[in-house]
Amino acid sequence: MKYCFIALLSFASQLLSAASIEKQFYLGADLSYVNEMEDCGAKYYDKNKRQDPFKLFADKGANLIRVRLWHNPQWTAYSNLEDATKTLQRAKNNGMKTLLDFHYSDTWTDPEKQFVPQAWAHISDTDELAKTLYNYTTEILAALDAKNLLPDMVQVGNETNIEILQPEKTLVHGIPNWPRNATLLNSGIKAVRDYSKKVNKPIGIVLHIAQPENALWWFKQASEHAVLDYDIIGLSYYPQWSTYKLPQLPGAITTLKNTYKKDVLIVETAYPYTLENFDKADNVLGKNAIQPEFPATPKGQASYLLTLRNLVKAAGGIGVIYWEPAWVSTKCTTLWGKGSHWENATFFNAAEGNKTLPAFLFFSNKYQSKN
């Protein structure tokens, strides 16, 4: 296992020496949960001192913060416009760039579900729904711009592997109606592009697909249906749910980059530092998430991230964002249980009062694993 890990690092180093990286390489974090966690009593520590998490991530080297936005979530007071605005402001106050993730739903969207917001559920005409999507996207950007918080990048949808804006009762998997799907995606894209041009402020447009093997077919079909005016291919990469192992990932990134002439950004990844569960909420990342080269230890988590970072950079990708490294365990509840389903995959050691873990080395461009 040790030699396989060394081979991975050697491969990344060789590619890096031959590559010319001109653009900024993003080392980011999705901190959408932080406001809620702090309201629930969460405290974060580094060197035995309590830290503001946004300042902590910036000080450690993070240069991009991702934040999700739900349309009108009645089941929570968070990830609405008010909460997302607060997150964007905290990120800006600490000198980090921002990526706004439109879920276009009142709840989580992912490869298994893409539910239309309840306020739009009565709209059956595709063109009318596309216009509603356009207007909503424009209104959000204008509201943020009025507070000088226009994001540097915008995701038009979250993990849109299946058709977006579907009625919950008739949800289908796959994309049986690509013309409808393309119309809706292009409407969101056009809203961002039009607003960017109107105010003369650049906004990178991201389309986001979960797992590289799915992106290969999805972007081919999207191109065939004239979904073309975007800037960045966003990928979720979780080894637990991907058929692609780490050594295969650079090939997928290179293929996507060269085929569609777009930048490629890993907008979600994560890895556990332990398999222990510290509360009553089951952990999402369990034994199936563990790769042979990277044990579920603080060092194993850091090694996974450093290896992934180096491989993505070597392949010409523009960055890696870690999903919810601050979603620690608290007294609060989720839709599925009390506590956090992610505390074993954060950057804070739950067994030591949420002290920082070696995973923060991920944000240091100068640090290279010595393993």
CB 350, CB 301: distance < 8 Å: no
Instruction: Give the chain's length.
Output: 371
| Angle of CA points 100, 106, 112, to nearest 5° | 90
Q: What is the dihedral of CA 341, 33, 305, 313, to 10 degrees?
A: 140
Of these residues, 159, 293, 324, 343, which one is catalytic?
159
Does residue 324 carry a catalytic annotation? no
Strand order in the sheet with 348-349: 49-51, 44-46, 355-356, 348-349
Which one of the listed residues 112, 168, 224, 268 is annotated catalytic? 268
Rounded to 5 degrees, φ, ψ at 203 are -135, 120
Three-state DSSP state, 64? strand
Name every residue whose Cβ is closer than 8 Å to that of residue 119 and which is 6 or more positions away in sequence. Answer: 71, 72
Per DSSP, the three-state class of 266 is: strand
Strands 355-356 and 348-349: antiparallel
159 flagged as catalytic: yes
- Residue 19: CB atoms within 10 A of its CB come to 12
Measured CA to CA, the distance from residue 291 to residue 303 in angstroms comes to 11
Give the CA radius of gyration of the chain. 20
The amino acid at residue 201 is: K
Q: What is the DSSP string of 322-357?
A: EE-TT----S-B-SS-BS-S-GGGSSEEGGGTSEE-
Q: What are the catalytic residues?
A: 159, 268
